[in-house]
A = this chain, B = another copy of it.
Amino acid sequence: MSTAQALVARNGASALSLREVARELNMASSAIYRYFATRDELLTTLIVNAYNDMGAAVEKADAKLSTAGHRERFVGVARAVRRWALRHPHDYALIFGTPVSGYVAPAGTIVAATRVSAVLGRILSQAEADTTTASPSAAERAMVDVDAVTAVTGPLSGPRVIDALSAWSAIYGLISFELFGHFVGSVKKNDTFFDAALHSWADRFGLPN
């Protein structure tokens, strides 16, 4: 398992070879099939691990910021996501890159997958609790499963639950563009650019400070 992890970290998921992990383990390639029915099953396990690793890292960063203001916390958590991505590019690609072949997200992944978006959502929910909370409109309920979201984030007003999802996907977009090279030629300092984009989001959310 950890052997496969290391190989992915070195060469990327697409290059992961069942026979190679077998070799590294001094096993026959066929022996691996006692533990993983198929190569995709191995990858799925790796995906869950990666989700949890990222989730743990982000939760830890959030815990350290528990006394900070909402803006600082929001930006700090997003930074933690980016930092994890830069440190584990292949795991990041494994999670957020092109899904393999047919791919339907196995049930086991979904709980691990929500860990980091939950942290971000909770911050926004708490920031909102300091002001007012208008309940979501019918139109908003039609396009988003408000209950499913607020079950993990805490209460969020209508526009904000939309913006929260939008912000999370935007953070993903920023990191992916950086990591996958789509900012080459336009963005020069990725750190400060990321921060600037995030503060713009914080402005949008009206986060103080």
Interface residues of A (CB under 8 A from B): 12-15, 93, 96-101, 103-105, 110, 113, 139, 142-145, 148-149, 162-163, 165-166, 169-174, 176-177, 180-189, 192-193, 196-197, 200, 204
Contact = CB atoms under 8 A, between A and B. Distances in A.
Nearest to A121: B186
B101 A14 contact: yes
Contacts of A113: 182
A200 B203 CA distance: 13
A166 B203 CA distance: 14
A162 B197 contact: yes
B180 A176 contact: no
Nearest to A196: B162
Nearest to A94: B98
B200 A183 contact: no
Most chain B CB atoms below 10 A, which of A93, A104, A166: A166
Contact of A166 (B12, B96, B170): B170
Contacts of A184: 105
A171 B173 CA distance: 8
A182 B189 CA distance: 28
A46 to B, nearest CB: 14
Given A162-B197, A173-B173, 18 more contacts: A15-B101, A93-B98, A97-B97, A97-B98, A98-B98, A98-B180, A99-B180, A113-B182, A139-B192, A142-B188, A142-B192, A144-B186, A144-B189, A145-B186, A163-B200, A165-B193, A166-B197, A176-B176
